[in-house]
Every structure is written in C-alpha cells, then in structure tokens.
Amino acid sequence: MKKVIGGSLAALMILSLAACGGTSKPAETTAPSAAASAAETQAQSEAAGEKKPEDYSGSVVVYSPHDADPLNAGVNQFMEKYPNVKVEVVAAGTGELTNRIAAESANPIADVLWGGGADSLAAFKEYFTPYVSEVNDSFIDATYKDPDGLWIGESPLPMVIFYNKELIEKDGLTIPETWEDLISPEWKGKIAYCLPSKSGSAYTQLCTMMLAHGGKEDGWDFVQKLYENLDGKIVDSSSKCHKMVADGEFYVGITIEKSAVKYAGDDKVGFVYPKDGTSAVPDGVALIKGCPNEENAKLFIDFVLSKECQAEQSQSWGRRPVRNDMEVGEGMAKLSDLILVDYDFDWAANSKEEIIEKFNDIMVEN
C-alpha cells in the first residue's frame, strides 16, 4: 500500500521496503526552503510550455534510496512550488528499487528514480527512457550524464579516507593520504570498509581503488593486499564506516565525502581525498520507461536539477551540487582540484556480479 502525499507538507510519508519486512512508517519532514528566484521560475515555466506552477496537477511516484532528511526536504520543496501535484514516495535501497523497477516493467508504477549511483543506474538502463532537462542541461557537464540521456547525475560523490585524529596522534602515525598508504603494515586491522556486496558506495570504492592501482585486471593485486590489511574486519553497512571511526573503533575508514563533511567542526576527525586517484560517481535521476505520469515525472527531474533544489540540498544536507554554475559547500574541494580516475560506468555496471564474486573469493581464501 502506498501513501498519497498531497499539498499538505505534514502529510509526507515514506514507505520503507528495506529488510524490516516492508512495513511502512512515516519519516520526519523538514520545512521547505525559500522560493526560487523569479528568473529561474520564469525560465522553467517557459521551458515547460508557459504553464504556471499551479497549473500542474495529478501525481508523480518517486522511488528513492536517499536518506530520509534530504529526501523529505526535496519533496517538500517540490510540493511547495507545485501545490497541486501529489507525490508518492517509496524509499528503499538502490538495489531493491532497481530490481523492483525491473519486475514492474510490464506495468510500471514508478515515474522517477531519484538517487542511486550512476554505475548502479547504468546496469538498469533498459528500464529508463531518454530525457534531456533542457532548462538545466547546459549547466551539467557531459561527464555526469549518460551519453544516451538515460540518466542524469544530480550529486557527484567523491570517495575519501576518513580518519580519527586522536587515535592517529596517540600512536604516532601519519595521516594516510593515498589508497596505497592503507596497505602499509601500520594500518592492519585499523581500517573500516564495508562489504561491497552490501553497499553500492563500497562497490564504487572497490572499483575506484582498482582503477587507481593497476586497472580492471591488475587492480586485483591491490585489492588482495588491502583485504589482508583489513585483518578479517569488514563491516556490513557503509554508514558504519564513518560512525565507527568517529567513535574510535577504527583509525581510518573508506567512505563518501557527504558522510565525512557531516563532521565539520569536530576536531577529533578529518578526511582526505586520495592523491592516487578518487572518483566522483554521481547519484543519478532517471525517467522510468512507460511511466504513468510522464509530464510530472519530467517536472520533478527538472526540479531536482534546478539551482533552487541543488542549493537547498547542498546548504542543508551537505550534498555536492552537480551544476557547474554553483560553488561547492564548505569543507568540500572543487572537483577540478581532485585527482580523478577514469571511471568506466558501463564496466562497473556490467561486471558487478563478476567483481563481487571475485572479492568474495578473496575473502574465502583469506
């Protein structure tokens, strides 16, 4: 059963389809941000055929793996701008949602998938339909868009090394600055890393480290050494990596920038962008093929990519904007200042099962 979200912001409900048995429960809402500038609102209205925001009606079904707070904030903001459009949200993990989209493909229920790494979306491209957000397209670099228009990046996610300053200083260690540093003997048993089969971000991290050290084939030598240095300690949730480092259970953790920046102002922890090459795989947004509410789906995608929404997501929730006409949030480095690997989305997507199986074999052998 889905909950209908109408004009009342207090009515926002998130359906959780995660491992808790699919029981739905409400997620907390947040107040919408300030209205868009008059210029942007006018530009979007013109691009949509001169319709005013209040002229849109009907509904839109959004599947999303985003955390509840930024997800609710974005949906609230959309409803504030388009008060006559009802929104239904189904929240679960990326894998569960993409598999659900595939299972429903003969009779689609979802209109939009908002979130999930682009490498994950690339594996399900056959269930999306091309869409170019004309009002936003010129502000999004080609690196962050599928060449066939089947997904659009909405928030690049650099991978970082998160560290506990107190533990490192106590033991007289040097803060690691590269992935290579993590295979040094002094870090054995001190690294928090999530099982790639359990986490999309951990899988992206695995691919990133391989591409930074040897590539698609020779990179397995690095993975073997890294796993040996984990000393059998591997966590089952990506969110635990930064939390356990912050709590002093690990010295360093492999995590996402957006998780690390949450600790801004905490003198006990910090993070670095690996100098031997990181990635900035974006979360994406995609239009579901054969969706029942295509006009409102495109409207929602336009909104997610708008400067209005991107600014709120960045300022309030630490999500890096994809738009090239915006500054990054406090504590974030410019992408132009990072050393980035040449991340192959199609390889990561099409080889995922094989890569996961090979990583699991390394675990068994060690």
Domains of the chain: 9-156+282-336 (3.40.190.10), 158-280+337-365 (3.40.190.10)
Q: What is the pLDDT of residue 161?
A: 98
- Give the pair of three-digit tokens for residue 150: 């089947």
Closest CA to 251 of 266, 271, 237, 236: 271
Distance separating alpha carbons of residues 337 and 272, to the nearest angstrom: 12
Dump pLDDT digits (tens) for 223-281. Answer: 999 999 999 999 988 889 999 999 999 999 999 998 999 898 899 999 999 999 999 99
By mean pLDDT, which of 78-87, 183-192, 335-344 is the weakest?
335-344
By mean pLDDT, which of 15-29, 54-68, 233-247 is the weakest?
15-29
pLDDT tier for residue 93 given thresholds of 50, 70 and 90: confident
Q: Is 117 exposed, middle or buried (0-12, 13-18, 19+ CB in 10 A)?
A: buried
pLDDT tier for residue 23 given thresholds of 50, 70 and 90: very low
Distance separating alpha carbons of residues 277 and 342, to the nearest angstrom: 9
Dump pLDDT digits (tens) for 341-360. Answer: 999 988 998 999 999 999 99
Dump pLDDT digits (tens) for 203-225. Answer: 999 999 999 999 999 999 999 99
Cβ density class 124-144: b for 16+ within 10 Å, e for less? bbebbeebebebbeebbeeeb
Q: Are 151 and 121 in contact (CB under 8 A)?
A: yes
Q: What is the pLDDT of residue 44?
A: 52
One-letter identity of residue 94: T
Distance separating alpha carbons of residues 358 and 355, to the nearest angstrom: 5
For the entire predicted model, the pTM comes to 0.77
